[in-house]
Amino acid sequence: MLLADLRAEVAAVGRRLAATGLVVGTAGNVSARAGDLIAVTPSGLDYADLSAELVGVHGLDGTEAEAPLRPSSELPLHLAVYAATDAAAIVHTHSPAATATSALVDEVPAIHYQVAAFGGPVAVAPYATYGTDELAASVVAALAGRSACLLANHGAVTTGPDLQTALTRARALEWVCDVWLRAAAAGRPRLLAAEEIEKVAGKLAGYGQRPPGNS
C-alpha cells in the first residue's frame, strides 16, 4: 500500500479529532505530505469508519495515485496550501469555538500569548463556498506568516511540519478562541501588545522537550 504509515497516521488523527470534539460526523479533513504526494481523508466518511486503506493518496497536481474513495471536498484547499507554504501537514476542523469566533471577527486578537505559537494574531479568511478555488485562495492569503487561520462562518485550518504539530495547533487554536469568546461575553477584553507577542514567539522557538531516549 502506497504511503502506508502516513495513511495510518492521517486516519489516527482523524479519529482523535472526532474523539476530542474538534469535528463532528464527517466534518473537517486531514492531510499530510510526502514528497510529491499527499495522503488525505476521503469525503463524506465518518471518522469512526476511517482506516489507513480508505485514506487516499493524490499527487500535488490533484491526480489520483491510490484512492478507493473520493477525496475530501477541500482537496483544492490542501493542494493550494502545500503549493504556497512549506507545510507538511494540514488539519481542518469545524470546532465550535473557532467557528463561532470566525463569525464575529476578522482576526483572532491577542487575548493570550498563545497566539505567538501561530505567528501572531490569527486572520479570518473571507467566506467562500466550501470546496472552491476561491476558498483555497482566501485560506492561502490568511495563512501568510502564520500556521493557522479561521475560515469565516466555517471553521479553522492549522498547518505544521508534521501531523502531531498541526493537531496540537488545532487544539490550541480552539482553546484561544474559547478564551476570547468567554472574555468578550463578559466585557471588553484586555489585549496583549504586538511587542509582547513577538517576545513570546522568540521564547517559544526553543520551547519543548522529549523524554530521554526519544529521538
Distance CA 3, CA 55 (A): 10
Residue 90 makes CB contacts below 8 A (sequence gap 6+) with 30, 31, 32, 77, 78, 81, 82, 157, 158, 159, 166
User: Which positions are annotated as active-site residues?
Assistant: 74
Question: What three-state secondary structure class fits 71?
Answer: strand
By C-alpha distance, which of 61, 76, 157, 163 is closest to 118?
157
For β-strands 122-125 and 148-151, DSSP reports them as parallel
For the chain, give the longest Cα–Cα distance.
54
